[in-house]
Amino acid sequence: MRVLVAMSGGVDSSVAAALLVEEGHDVVGATLKLWGGPSDSGCCSVADVDDARRVAQQLGIDHHVFNLTDEFEAQVVGPYVAAHAAGRTPNPCIECNRHIKFDRLLARSRRLGFDALATGHHARVERADGGGHRLRRGADPLKDQSYVLSMLDREQLAGIVLPVGHLTKSQVREHAARLGLRTAGKPDSQDVCFVHGDVGREGFLSRRMALHPGTVVDRSTGDAVGRVDAVELVTVGQRRGMGQGADGGRRYVVAVDVPARRVLVGSSEEATVEGVALTSITWVAGPLAPGTPAVAQVSAHGRPVPCRFEAGGTVRFTERQRPVAPGQTVALYDHDVVVGAGIVKR
């Protein structure tokens, strides 16, 4: 099988390529050049490209660099800025997977005659009962990345290979060390790749949009209880910087109104919701029927919570939960199998 491996310069994609070579496949590595601005960092840095190229040399496979900077700007960076300007909290890693890795790159791999596209994600693609493919959580619960792949459908899953999904992270590093790969001890990338740590999210956004101070308003009384430097940087559910209520308890953000320059806060009890309304819902095999029980995960490392999917795209939690910020993705599971995902609209 001819496989194109997306090599980010990290240990997971390095071992993914190594495993495929060991299995006897015809493997070619490809690193995406997505971002070359002043915030060049994370999985988009020059050093990461060099690491990927050196690992490919160690494995004896060809390596290419694909320039997708225009697509990345249009599909990931631009929408990231626009979402903040509208008071939403975007997830750029999911949008990169949606539009770049498993759309543009997957399509390119097919045009180039490859049978599959491989990545180093910790998740598992398997044959589903009755045909087609399904996406399961990775074997390592601490590193599971099925959440950031939850928008994939069966057609996309049919063309994807995830070689490290059945391994724990320690097993991945052990395998890299045995092969002497230069990425064996490399730390995982933690931050948004186009936001440099020296300037942070505020510094990055301030160069692309206006940031406005806002008033913090108590939900119960309607009284102004504080100020924020930039209302566009506040996230629903946030408690940092929101102070304390009259009872001494922490206050949490329950709503952000950017046009009104207002942040609404409440107590820990007030800052819970029964459910969320989703938009842009994608399904692996087909939509859930209204009333179907499922498990929801609302962040990459969030705790899965029982829920029901209801008509109109609403997810109703069995117990009240902290609010999920508009713009974030909610992944839906049947046990450890992804069934679909959507973006919170309110």
pLDDT digits (tens, 9 = 90+) for 197-234: 778 899 999 999 999 999 999 998 999 999 999 999 99
Confidence of residue 345 (pLDDT cuts 50, 70, 90): very high
For the chain, the average pLDDT equals 93
pLDDT at 346 over 70: no
Distance CA 110, CA 159 (A): 9
Closest CA to 275 of 313, 238, 301, 237: 313
β-strands 314-321, 273-283: how paired? Answer: antiparallel
Q: Which residues pair with 337 in a beta bridge?
A: 136, 334
Distance CA 269, CA 323 (A): 11
Which regions of the chain carry the CATH code 3.40.50.620? 2-120+163-179
From 43, 44, 96, 307, the catalytic residue? 96
pTM of the model: 0.93
Residue type, 293: P
pLDDT at 110: 97
Distance CA 346, CA 100 (A): 26
Active-site residue flag, 193: yes
Closest CA to 35 of 193, 144, 157, 153: 193
The DSSP line for 315-338 is: EEEEEEEPPPPTT-EEEEEETTEE
Residues in the chain, total = 346
Which regions of the chain carry the CATH code 2.30.30? 211-266
From 44, 93, 193, 307, the catalytic residue? 193
pLDDT at 40 over 60: no
Fold adopted by 211-266: SH3 type barrels. (2.30.30)
Active-site residue flag, 44: no
Sign of CA pseudo-dihedral 54, 56, 61, 67: negative
pLDDT digits (tens, 9 = 90+) for 70-85: 999 999 999 999 999 9
- Regarding predicted confidence, which is higher, 305 or 48? 305
pLDDT at 86: 95
Domain 2-120+163-179: CATH architecture, name and number where available: 3-Layer(aba) Sandwich (3.40)
Structural Rg of the chain based on CA atoms: 21
Q: What is the mean pLDDT of residues 179-195?
A: 88
pLDDT at 128: 84
Which regions of the chain carry the CATH code 2.40.30.10? 273-344
Q: Three-state DSSP class for 72?
A: helix
Domain 273-344: CATH architecture, name and number where available: Beta Barrel (2.40)
pLDDT at 193 over 60: yes
Confidence of residue 39 (pLDDT cuts 50, 70, 90): very low
